Amino acid sequence: MNFTAQQIADYLNGKVDGDANISVSSISKIEEGKSGTLSFLANPQYLKYIYETEASIVLVNNEFIAEKPIKSTLIRVPDAYQALASLLKLYEESVLQEKVGVEPNTFIDTTATIGENLYLGGFSYISKNVKIGKNVKIYPQVYIGDNAEIKDNTIIYSGVKIYRDCNIGKNCILHAGVVIGGDGFGFAPGAENNYKKVPQIGNVILEDDVEVGANSTIDRATIGSTLIKRGVKIDNLVQIAHNVEIGENTVVAAQTGLSGSTKIGNRCMIGGQVGIIGHITIADEVKIAAQSGVGASIKNIGEIVQGSPAYNIKDYQKSYVIYKKLPALKTKIDELEKEINKLKTHLHQ
């Protein structure tokens, strides 16, 4: 399907700078742009490509000023990356086949409640008293346990396991291999140097608009709920332990582990391979750099930390400059010690 620059600009509430009638049928990266495609410029590192690209249309921010001639037609928008996201969603909806209906080799318990326009892929299992809302898509080989609830417009990809009593909100996306509601890591030390399992009788609640990446796990609470609030985005291979709470619109990158009963604030950004111990609190809008280890509560709103143990990022960067120079400093110290020893020997002669 072809769209003209003017049609795209109208959809995005943007402004055409160039040929409003030029059309595109697909999307490309700016460095690989071809005639008939649309691209975008959001990261300044790719600025040079806008003067080289063959893309017919390029989305740019309103404040972009060209320093050289550009062959492409530009569409100016407040935020090129957000505009691209809107177009990609529209493109996805136009090319992906709408799936509706129940495929063969599925099981739906007679006590389950199913909303209209359900898609249920083959070899999926819907347990007792499950409630599924409208327009839900459940791909093959999904298991949904007793009393679980899946609300409207949620997408559950292949191989997801949702344990009993867990609640998934509206417009959520669970990618392949996600496990929601597995037992928390609860064991009581015994008298014989062994460990007795502590039953995990709580659940997991995902509020609306949550996305969970492939093979991530969110453990059920010991008592109460592990709570993932509205708009949270979780990357692949993330472990979230029992009774954790993650605030609204927080993002968590891959291979991060959150220990039990930790509370994360709203709008936080947690980098990849971060480890956070249990029973602490992270304030709103905190940013934690990749591979950091957080061993204490972070109480200041908007603080940025790095390192293991993590501390203020500016202090960390100053310390790291010195750390990199330690071999040279060690050499200087050794040389100074030799000189001092020579002076001592000379003075005692």
Catalytic machinery residues: 242
Burial of 344 (0-12, 13-18, 19+ CB in 10 A): exposed
Burial of 11 (0-12, 13-18, 19+ CB in 10 A): middle
What is the C-alpha to C-alpha distance for residues 144 and 147, in angstroms, rounded to an integer? 9
Q: Residues 152, 138: contact at Cβ < 8 Å?
A: no
Q: Which one, of 265, 268, 236, lies nearest residue 253 by Cα?
A: 236
> Which residue pairs from 230-236 have beta carbons closer than 8 angstroms and sit at least 24 positions apart in sequence?
230/169, 231/207, 232/206, 232/207, 234/210, 235/272, 236/175
What is the C-alpha to C-alpha distance for residues 283 and 286, in angstroms, rounded to an integer? 6
What is the C-alpha to C-alpha distance for residues 212 and 218, in angstroms, rounded to an integer? 9
Q: What are phi and psi of 46, to 5 degrees?
A: -100, 15
Instruction: Specify the length of the chain in residues.
Output: 349
| One-letter identity of residue 233 | K
What is the C-alpha to C-alpha distance for residues 295 and 192, in angstroms, rounded to an integer? 30
Other C-beta atoms closer than 10 Å to the C-beta of 82 total 13
How far does CA 216 lie from the centroid of its chain?
11
Tokens found for residue 312? 């203020």
State the DSSP string of 125-191.
EE-TT-EE-TT-EE-SS-EE-TT-EE-TT-EE-TT-EE-TT-EE-TT-EE-TT-EEEEPP--EEEPT
Give 218's strand partners: 180, 240
